[in-house]
Amino acid sequence: MFDLLFLIPALPFAGFLALALAGKRLTRTTVAVIGCGSVGLSALLSLAVAARYLLEPPQGDRVVQTLGTWLAAGTLSIDLAFALDPLSLIMMLTITVVGFLIHLYSTEFMQEDEGFSRFFASLNLFVGAMLTLVLADNLLLLYLGWEGVGLCSYLLIGFWYRDPSNGRAARKAFITTRMGDTALLIGLFLLFTNLGTLTIREIVEIAPARFPAGSPLAVAVAALLLGGAVGKSAQLPLQVWLPDAMAGPTPVSALIHAATMVTAGVYLIARMNVLFSLAPVVQSAVAVIGALTLLLAGCSALVQSDLKRVLAYSTISQIGYMFLALGVGAWSAAIFHFMTHAFFKALLFLGAGVVIKALGEEHDLHRMGGLRRALPVTFWTFLIGSASLAALPLVTAGFYSKDLILWDAWASVRGGRWLWMAGAAGAFITTVYTFRMVFLAFFGEQRTPVRTGPGRRMTVTLIALAVLSAIGGFVELPPLFGEFRPFSDFLLSVLPPLALRDEGGSTELLLLLVTEALQVGGIFLAYLLFLRQPAYATQLRVHPAIGTVRKFWLSGWGFDWFYDRLLISPFVRIAQLAKDDVIDRVYAGAGALVAGLHGVAARTQTGSVRWYAAGIALGAAIIMGIVLLS
């Protein structure tokens, strides 16, 4: 069974090739079968491989499948090889299962779109690239998948390219993430220069002996890898691209935000945890970046009117929780939250897609309302996803992963009260904006008539993701509920255990009660402001001071304005000043010379046979003269 590992990324790639080469000549049913079926087969194969792995664990908890040599130059030798271990297994399962459900949903959601085959070709390429990233045995192959998902994000965010704003959003995502990708590439150069290898297993074994803990080289490498992770996972200060990525179709938003691109940075840091452990200052920076990002993005989500932008800022905030966990050394907690987040965030985006489509492409929350009766299945599944996002206790997957992160942020030797307070405040903010979204969209007066409802495929997808969002967290229970830790134990061969300074007990119970009290208070506040007494929310919006803060949060804390003044406008002005410089005149002169010679040569083309004959005779005479004289 392990010999078929390469087929898991190969099947989506095969679907991409078939659709890219012949998609326009295929019927929509055939396109849907190829696009959805290739990822479905990949998901089934992933489940079969996972079952074999769990029932008959390989020696060393790791399987490597080498297909051949990819690159060989000097001392550099890179194999085309895939590696399966507990970390890549969890990532692979999440990507393929959630990816398949998104594909199934898309077969109905996009069925009337003129770019149907192009959409599924890009979607298949996206899944294939992400699987390559997480299964890669070496960092260069990982980087190939890394750039592949960046390319696909450009293609899918700008899918409706006839609208110039969509093209701008796609370019913004592509250019912003390239900044992080450049840092990552430099980090790979440093690793190969100093370690002589890019194979992940060899780096993990060699790095502790070559890089003294806290050494400048260890810090530089970890910081460069963090730069790549920050760009791809939309964390401070490169988070600006993700809200605008909502320009793409809703299934694209679900795929980017739930199971693929934005979690690539989380995977990179977890996979290279040894390098970050050797650079404590960088690992602490990961925690601080995560804490700040989850707060800033949560505040922005509070004031958004566009349903998808609320979810976009929510994604930035939830990735911030994963970074917080990584920064305090809670590696398995970060991956746990990645998995549960994939379930409930895919559900929320796809539910939002149903709502938007049902209301005739209406995105504004303030023009929705009363949809719980018109769209009952969507309402209940969306409510389950929202409860999981808000981490309501005991009955949602999000509770188990987020509570574990909050406890680890407090109890870890690398954590502390300030990081816990940031996470707890973020939990309160998350609850407020989540139930604001629920109350505005599904309760109160219906402001926009429902034109259509979800079909069978969309409904099945929502129900499947709702089930996963409810029960997906039972693979790990908080220490307070007993030592049931199969998820963390499964990852121990890849991710080191967390070093705790507080063993729990009464402290853990107290912190849990405080967090749950904040969440209950958040639900009540959202109920009061957006359902019971909406006039209060209106009064807050028109208050001068609060209105100013609201505009600041609505703009994403002014980061776009800052980057425009700091980077974009100066670059444009320099380009305008340089457009007529001496160098340009050299090329302009060369072009003018060619144009002049063309004009001279064109005058010889008179159409008169006599002149042509005379020209030939003259040329022959000149050649004969040269021969005789020489």
Neighbours of 578 (CB within 10 A): 11
Q: What is the secondary structure of 80-137 as a DSSP string?
A: EEEEE-HHHHHHHHHHHHHHHHHHHHHHHHTTT-TTHHHHHHHHHHHHHHHHHHHHBS
Lowest-pLDDT range of 218-222, 245-249, 279-283 = 245-249
Q: What Rg, from alpha-carbon coordinates, does the chain have? A: 28
Domain assignment present for 248: yes
Summarised one tens digit per residue, pLDDT across range 518-531 is 999 999 999 999 98
The whole-number average pLDDT for the span 478-502 is 84
Please give the DSSP secondary-structure letter assigned to residue 412.
Answer: B
In the chain, pLDDT over 70 holds for what percent of residues?
Answer: 99
Same-domain status, 564 and 504: no
The whole-number average pLDDT for the span 214-230 is 94
The whole-number average pLDDT for the span 201-218 is 91
Same-domain status, 601 and 458: no
pLDDT attached to residue 451 = 87
Helices and strands (H and E) in the chain: how many:
28, 2
Same-domain status, 83 and 145: yes
pLDDT attached to residue 148 = 93
- Integer distance in angstroms from the first to the last C-alpha of the chain? 79
- The answer to whether the Cα torsion of 527, 528, 534, 536 is positive or negative is negative
In the chain, pLDDT over 90 holds for what percent of residues?
Answer: 61
pLDDT attached to residue 338 = 93
pLDDT band at 501 (very low <50, low <70, confident <90, very high): confident
Q: Which residues of 157-184 are buried (b: 16+ CB within 10 A; e: fewer)?
A: bbbbeeeeebbebbebbbebbebbbebb
Name the nearest CA neighbour of 251 among 377, 345, 314.
Answer: 345
Q: To the nearest whole number, what is the mean pLDDT of the chain? A: 90
149 and 268 Cβ atoms separated by less than 8 Å: no
Domain assignment present for 284: no
404 and 413 Cβ atoms separated by less than 8 Å: no
Task: Give the span between the Cα atoms of 274 and 15, in whole angstroms.
Answer: 36
The whole-number average pLDDT for the span 358-377 is 91
Domain assignment present for 481: yes
Name the nearest CA neighbour of 512 among 431, 430, 423.
Answer: 423
Q: Which of 223, 245, 278 corresponds to the end of one domain?
A: 278
The whole model's pTM is what? 0.90
Same-domain status, 568 and 592: no
pLDDT attached to residue 377 = 95
Domain residue limits at 515: 291-542
Q: Which two tokens stand for residue 297?
A: 């993005």
The whole-number average pLDDT for the span 468-481 is 85
Same-domain status, 68 and 89: yes
pLDDT attached to residue 580 = 67
The whole-number average pLDDT for the span 265-282 is 94
Task: Give the span between the Cα atoms of 384 and 343, in whole angstroms.
Answer: 11
Residue 622 has pLDDT above 80, yes or no: yes
Q: Which of 245, 278, 311 corresponds to the end of one domain?
A: 278
Q: Where are the beta strands (DSSP E) in 375-440?
A: none
Q: Which two tokens stand for residue 171?
A: 């370019």
Query: What is the length of the chain?
Result: 630
Q: Which of 236, 253, 278 corresponds to the end of one domain?
A: 278
Domain assignment present for 283: no
- The answer to whether the Cα torsion of 149, 404, 525, 546 is positive or negative is negative
pLDDT attached to residue 470 = 92
Same-domain status, 479 and 376: yes
The whole-number average pLDDT for the span 125-130 is 94
Task: Give the span between the Cα atoms of 238 and 183, in whole angstroms.
Answer: 13
Residue 276 has pLDDT above 90, yes or no: yes
Domain assignment present for 135: yes
Lowest-pLDDT range of 108-112, 134-138, 533-537 = 533-537
Give the count of domains, the chain.
4
Domain assignment present for 269: yes
Q: Which two tokens stand for residue 183?
A: 């840092």
350 and 462 Cβ atoms separated by less than 8 Å: yes
Summarised one tens digit per residue, pLDDT across range 539-557 is 887 788 888 888 899 888 9
pLDDT band at 119 (very low <50, low <70, confident <90, very high): very high
Q: Which residue has the tokens 């080289």?
A: 217
Same-domain status, 600 and 573: no
Summarised one tens digit per residue, pLDDT across range 128-146 is 999 999 999 999 999 999 9
Neighbours of 617 (CB within 10 A): 10
Summarised one tens digit per residue, pLDDT across range 439-460 is 999 998 888 888 888 989 999 9
pLDDT attached to residue 630 = 67
Same-domain status, 597 and 469: no
Same-domain status, 592 and 467: no
Lowest-pLDDT range of 89-98, 163-172, 532-541 = 532-541
How far is residue 215 from each of residues 210, 220, 282, measured CA to CA in Å? Answer: 10, 9, 11
Give the relative orientation of helices 139-157 and 116-135 as an angle to the nearest 10 degrees: 160
Same-domain status, 207 and 340: no
pLDDT band at 263 (very low <50, low <70, confident <90, very high): confident
Higher pLDDT, 359 or 23: 359
Task: Give the span between the Cα atoms of 335 and 408, in whole angstroms.
Answer: 13
Domain assignment present for 286: no
pLDDT attached to residue 2 = 83
C-alpha triplet 336, 339, 342: angle, nearest 5° = 145
Same-domain status, 248 and 300: no
How far is residue 136 from each of residues 19, 67, 122, measured CA to CA in Å? Answer: 25, 12, 21
Summarised one tens digit per residue, pLDDT across range 57-104 is 888 889 999 998 888 887 778 889 999 999 999 999 999 999 999 999
Same-domain status, 263 and 325: no
Domain assignment present for 285: no
pLDDT attached to residue 523 = 94
Contacts of 347 (CB under 8 A, 6+ apart): 381, 382, 384, 385, 388, 462, 465, 466, 468, 469
Summarised one tens digit per residue, pLDDT across range 391-448 is 998 889 999 999 999 999 998 988 888 999 999 999 999 999 999 999 999 998 888 8
pLDDT attached to residue 504 = 62
pLDDT band at 259 (very low <50, low <70, confident <90, very high): low
Residue 571 has pLDDT above 90, yes or no: no
